[in-house]
Amino acid sequence: MAGDTLALVKPGCHFGAREFDAMTSYPFQMIDVFGDGAFAGNPLAVVTTPDDLDLATMQRITRWLNLSETTFLLPPTDPAADYRVRIFTLDRELPFAGHPTLGTCHAWLAAGGAPQAGDMVVQQCGAGLVRVRRDGVGLAFAAPPLIRSGPVEEDKRREIAAILGIAVDDIVDAAWVDNGPGWVAVLLDSAEAVLAVEPARHHPERVEIGVVGFSPGGSAETYEIRALFSDPFGGLVEDPVTGSLNASVAQWLLGAGRVVGSAGTPEKIALLTEKYRYDAAFNYKDGSVSRQLAVVCRQGE
């Protein structure tokens, strides 16, 4: 996952029309996050600096590297943290994002970082302290608290429906699930409905939309999720894996009582609700799975 450490800026290199005559170099690593092989995941540049650079310089470096996100790895200012990170997209700084969190943690560990608490790494970022667990196989972060939650305004629902090319009534539920980037999530009737969405490819206002639908009983996946967001030029792009959205949608579904299971016998249904604390469970042999899921989701059971 980790790339080599390279000099980011050397004498005589240019950013735009400005030349850096004095030696200004910062090591960085190229990290491949969420991939199951080389060049298969979300790329990330992690720049290590001893102190904060000014905002304009960090944004300029991010644009020059031209990846979806670049992070700046810094010493922590909170004694409870192992390191501090600032996260940038091509046009703004984010308080938190998923694949930059995992990639930065990997880069810190690869550079010799030693956590204060064994296998639990504590990251300091704009969203506060985020815990990242390592288990010998990979890294997993604990979802930070939502910056914005709650119901979505009717005007916003109509805007989202228009972007997705669906009727407002096709939205079963909607909520703000913003943990940094600005996510709003909408629940559709099924995973099939989510996969059928053909969204617009341009929108004049910035949007970050998560589209969610439950899968039928017996499926390998519990639900389908798609992530749509604005690029710096007003285009709408889809990200195949978005850690921050997956985390905040899980928080929403848990908080709304939407952890729903399915099984083929009454005994297994009882096991799901009583032992594993599912909010609801139903028998997938009893009629339409999609209809049963829609009823449970609308009732918030």
230 φ/ψ angles, rounded to the nearest 5 degrees = -80, 140
pLDDT of res. 216: 84
Query: Residue 58, Cβ neighbours under 10 Å: how many?
Result: 20
CATH class of domain segment(s) 143-301: alpha beta
Distance CA 266, CA 283 (A): 7
Helices vs. strands in the chain: H and E counts, helices first: 7, 19
Please say if 198 is a catalytic residue: no
The pLDDT of residue 12 is above 50: no
Tell me: the pLDDT tens digits for 15-69? 444 554 455 788 889 999 988 778 888 899 999 999 999 999 999 999 999 999 9
Paired sense of beta strands 280-283 and 260-263, if any: parallel
For residues 224 and 210, the answer to whether their CB atoms sit within 8 Å is: no
Domain ranges of the chain: 6-141, 143-301
Between 196 and 282, the higher pLDDT residue: 196
Query: Residue 80, Cβ neighbours under 10 Å: how many?
Result: 10
Three-state SS at 290: helix
Tell me: the pLDDT tens digits for 137-160? 899 999 999 999 999 999 999 999
Three-state SS at 173: strand
Going along the chain, which residue ranges are E strands? Answer: 6-7, 14-15, 18-19, 27-33, 42-48, 70-74, 83-88, 93-94, 120-125, 128-134, 139-141, 148-151, 173-178, 184-187, 208-214, 223-230, 236-239, 260-263, 280-283
For residues 148 and 174, the answer to whether their CB atoms sit within 8 Å is: no
The pLDDT of residue 5 is above 60: no
Of 237-251, 253-267, 283-297, minimum mean pLDDT range: 283-297
- The tokens describing 175, both together, are 């909520």
Instruction: Check if 6-141 and 143-301 are the same fold.
Output: yes
- The conformation of residue 220, written as its DSSP 8-state character, comes to S
For residues 259 and 253, the answer to whether their CB atoms sit within 8 Å is: yes
Distance CA 107, CA 3 (A): 9
Given its phi and psi angles, is residue 247 left (phi above 0), alpha (psi -120 to 50 degrees) or beta?
A: alpha
Q: Which helix (H) or strand (E) holds 163?
A: helix 154-164
For residues 179 and 248, the answer to whether their CB atoms sit within 8 Å is: yes
Q: Any residues with CB less than 8 A from the CB of 262 and at least 6 apart, and which?
A: 217, 218, 281, 282, 283, 284, 289
Q: Which of 19, 69, 153, 205 is catalytic?
A: 69
pLDDT of res. 258: 58
pLDDT of res. 34: 86
Query: Residue 179, Cβ neighbours under 10 Å: how many?
Result: 26
Which CATH superfamily hosts domain 6-141? Diaminopimelate Epimerase; Chain A, domain 1 (3.10.310.10)
For residues 33 and 44, the answer to whether their CB atoms sit within 8 Å is: yes
